Chains A and B, each alone.
Chain A
């Protein structure tokens, strides 16, 4: 009897309508260190939407069929570290996802001091506030508890922020600029797939994985 193999869940996330306007960051231009890196003020980029509605920076993850967190499946300690960089006095990427126990390296690629301050809301994830000099060593963070959109900020440059989602399993991905995602090697079974955007909200769908890839698409609409 053939044994069912793990399969991928693939799909596309799109945004329908006109996304809300972004804010212009004027404050960055007043900073002697940061302003010199820009010819014009950058904007926020909460909504990464392509010309055909491709919606990036959406966090796709799996829960069980009843909508509960899948826990105890983390392979984080075996994974290469994720990297969060500070470049142009902005965090890059703005949306990141890691597993519990996986290292997150925070790097300072700027020639000015930043302080790296994570603000977890889940007990068990530790809040830290560390200075990081130009050309300084990478700072290493690990989180032990699942948490969605754990905020990283810089208190020296208050416009800098990033959000890291932490999962206790490897079944997640973030949609790219073309809106596409792939959740790899999902064991056969019934699940709830969750699409979460920091501003646009959360959607869920039921999905069943057998022994071939499954396609699930999401569409977010302007409110």
Chain B
């Protein structure tokens, strides 16, 4: 009975972990809207809001950019609370030592993320905003990983020994690294307001590689209705971001092809790799749409969210492939496996 209670409890733990991951994803969207609406500094104080306690700030004052920034802060508080509950729950109920510390890491990271966001405001530091954006997506990967590790699926995966070739795993890790670098580039572009530095796609000022001479920059600024001056650096940043997208597409296509050939088309990881490829294709489409829509806030935010999903999909693929391939006595002896075997024997 105790073991059955523990199994139910851990199922609820898993459900809560999933809910926390979903809440984190929504928080990424809320944060994305803040930057897309250029509202990051619309509430000049922190942790208060215009002198009010954050939770008592009157709704009548949530106007303009304040609406996006303030709701982002409130949702972040909710995610912080959920992460705290999750960390405590894991510490008390999960027997895996590494898992307990993963919960602690999530707790510390959400605190750090909150402080980063606050410091960005009180120090008026746009660079901290870039760091805040990158750490937010890293935190999302961690929350999804926790959701995976608390799942029955993970028990099955870690019990299987269906090897994923090392070369494929390394290529996937390379793709994840490229996506992470692309995330940093994208966050920097958004921080620099470089998203509109090139107004056309797939050409760049009508060319394969745009002219960035001083005379050309003067011409671009003369014709642009962007209130921020366009610089050669911003144009080059965007071109590197576009090339990064191409590199990621090639890399993930190769991963999907290798997974298909080496694991077989019925293997879940092969299917998951093609899902990943579809996300990358959608992300490229959203990137183009962001440019062509003159950086419409909802499109730009969707681009941020699909980027986050691309990163987390690759990360989970990688974790699952290592779970299948790497022999770990700890994994074989952990409580979940024992409970699963016990339940199977009972039936």
Chain A positions within 8 Å of B, measured between CB atoms, are: 20-23, 31-34, 44, 46, 112-113, 115, 117, 127-131, 149, 151, 153, 155-158, 161, 198-201, 223
Q: Would A44 and B225 be within 8 Å (CB), given that A129-B124, A201-B218 are in contact?
A: yes
CA gap between A131 and B49 in the complex, in Å: 11
> Which A residues are in CB contact (< 8 Å) with B44?
115, 129-131
Residue of B nearest to A43 (CB): B225
CA gap between A30 and B37 in the complex, in Å: 13
Q: Is B119 positioned at the interface, with any CB of A under 8 Å from its CB?
A: no
CA gap between A46 and B40 in the complex, in Å: 25
| Cβ–Cβ contact B222 & A31, under 8 A | no
Choose among A44, A128, A151, A155 the residue with the greatest number of B CB atoms under 10 Å from its CB.
A155
Q: Is B64 positioned at the interface, with any CB of A under 8 Å from its CB?
A: yes
| Cβ–Cβ contact B63 & A33, under 8 A | yes
B68 to chain A, nearest CB (A): 10
> Which B residues are in CB contact (< 8 Å) with A44?
225, 227
> Which B residues are in CB contact (< 8 Å) with A115?
41-42, 44
Chain B positions within 8 Å of A, measured between CB atoms, are: 37-42, 44-45, 50, 61, 63-66, 69, 121, 124, 218-219, 221-225, 227-229
CA gap between A23 and B223 in the complex, in Å: 11
CA gap between A23 and B227 in the complex, in Å: 11
> Which A residues are in CB contact (< 8 Å) with B222?
20, 199-201, 223
6 shortest interchain CB distances as A-B pairs: A23-B225, A155-B42, A156-B64, A158-B38, A155-B41, A223-B222
> Which B residues are in CB contact (< 8 Å) with A46?
225
A134 to chain B, nearest CB (A): 12
> Which B residues are in CB contact (< 8 Å) with A34?
64
| Cβ–Cβ contact A158 & B221, under 8 A | no
| Cβ–Cβ contact A32 & B225, under 8 A | no
Residue of A nearest to B39 (CB): A155
| Cβ–Cβ contact A129 & B225, under 8 A | no
CA gap between A200 and B221 in the complex, in Å: 7
Residue of A nearest to B223 (CB): A20
Secondary structure call for the A interface = loop
Residue of A nearest to B50 (CB): A131
> Which A residues are in CB contact (< 8 Å) with B64?
31, 33-34, 112, 156-158
Given contacts A23-B225, A115-B42, A115-B44, 7 further A-B contacts (CB under 8 A): A153-B227, A155-B38, A155-B65, A156-B42, A156-B66, A158-B39, A198-B229
CA gap between A199 and B227 in the complex, in Å: 9
CA gap between A218 and B264 in the complex, in Å: 72
Residue of A nearest to B125 (CB): A127
> Which A residues are in CB contact (< 8 Å) with B218?
201, 223
Q: Which of B39, B65, B69, B221 contacts A199 (CB 8 A)?
A: B221
> Which A residues are in CB contact (< 8 Å) with B225?
20-23, 44, 46
> Which A residues are in CB contact (< 8 Å) with B219?
223
> Which A residues are in CB contact (< 8 Å) with B63?
31-33, 112-113, 156
| Cβ–Cβ contact A128 & B124, under 8 A | yes
Please list 18 pairs of residues, one from A and one from B, whose beta carbons are closer than 8 Å in the complex, sorted by A's number. Answer: A21-B225, A23-B225, A31-B64, A44-B227, A113-B50, A115-B44, A117-B41, A130-B44, A131-B50, A149-B229, A151-B228, A155-B40, A155-B65, A158-B37, A158-B39, A201-B218, A223-B218, A223-B223
A88 to chain B, nearest CB (A): 14
A80 to chain B, nearest CB (A): 28
> Which A residues are in CB contact (< 8 Å) with B38?
155, 158
